[in-house]
A = this chain, B = another copy of it.
Amino acid sequence: MEIYRLRSFVLLAERLNFGETARLSNLSQPALSKQIRQLEVEIGAPLFDRGRHGAQLTAVGKLFVEEARLVVRQADLALERGQRAARGELGSLTVGFGFSTVTLVPLVISRFRRLHPEVEVEMRDMSTVEQLEALRAGTIDIGFVRLPVEKEFRSQPVLKDRLVLAQSVHHKPVYDVKDLSTLKRASFVMLPRRRSPSLYDQVLSLCARHFFHPRVIQEAHEFPTVLGLVAAGLGVAILPESQLRTRIEGVTVHPIDDPIAHWRVGAAWRKSGGSPLTAGFLKLLKEEVADT
């Protein structure tokens, strides 16, 4: 029982005339006759009574035309939804992001939402490791992680980030970023330690390369707070340059010249199962990155 026959049947049930219906369907009358006859064989009963004045639905035909209509409608809906999904107009997209893309990702997502209002877009704040796991598990479709990424994924570079030393202009002594070991005696304002590898760990290994453990005098949960505390003269902070949009008077920043203090951040996604939504998002992202 194929759909093209059901379509013909439904049309004929409306017109009740083989010749006319055939013409309107761009079919020959015998072709339509054969289709209907085939349906009648499959059902096991005549669907029409053929007479001098066209055709009349039988009782079975009346019952079956309702069923046929449902199938045809469902098929049309399926095709439409499939095509819309293919055009990236339907579906859902989940994006993971970390602190380095906390300004970029919401920007791209809001543009994406405006372009595809019927797509469900979700964003999730996660660490790099969590994002990689979530990508593998299919929980998120795109993540923003440190590059390079495992060959298991595809990626696209988004921004370069590096660590900077922030200190108050009023504070004495002034620490020299050229020689980090001078920070041995400094007080540090830090974000809380998170599931490694987090910024905390990175600062730790950076200090370890200069044979000291940083003295943490205060923790704060947000970058602006950290900078505020630094400005207030509590101590120094090491943080990613990407977070310096919220720059504060009275604080100087200097990039740290150490290989582990530089890295690239990129969007990452699974090689397989890519949807048009992923592609569309990445395209927007590329445009956004090019603009900045």
Which residues of A does B touch, CB under 8 Å?
Answer: 1-4, 6, 42-45, 49, 51, 56-60, 63-64, 67-68, 70-71, 74-75, 77-79, 81-83, 85-87, 90-91, 141, 272-278
Contacts and interface: CB of A to CB of B under 8 A. Distances in A.
| Oligomer copy total | 2
A78 B85 contact: no
Contacts of A60: 82, 85-86, 91, 275-276
B275 A58 contact: yes
A67 B81 contact: yes
Contacts of A6: 78
Contacts of A77: 67
Contacts of A75: 1, 3, 71
Given A59-B273, A59-B277, A273-B56, A45 B85 contact: yes
Given A43-B86, A49-B273, A68 B78 contact: yes
A70 B75 CA distance: 8
A39 to B, nearest CB: 8
A150 to B, nearest CB: 17
Contact of A58 (B3, B59, B273): B273
16 contacts: A2-B4, A42-B82, A43-B79, A45-B85, A51-B272, A57-B273, A58-B272, A59-B85, A59-B278, A60-B82, A63-B82, A63-B85, A67-B78, A67-B81, A71-B74, A74-B74
Contacts of A74: 70-71, 74
Contacts of A49: 272-274
Given A3-B3, A60-B86, A64-B85, 11 more contacts: A2-B3, A6-B78, A43-B79, A45-B85, A49-B273, A58-B275, A59-B85, A59-B91, A59-B275, A60-B91, A60-B276
Nearest to A75: B71
Closest 6 CB pairs of A and B: A59-B275, A45-B86, A67-B78, A44-B86, A49-B272, A43-B82
Contacts of A3: 1-3, 75
A70 B78 CA distance: 8
Contacts of A71: 71, 74-75, 78
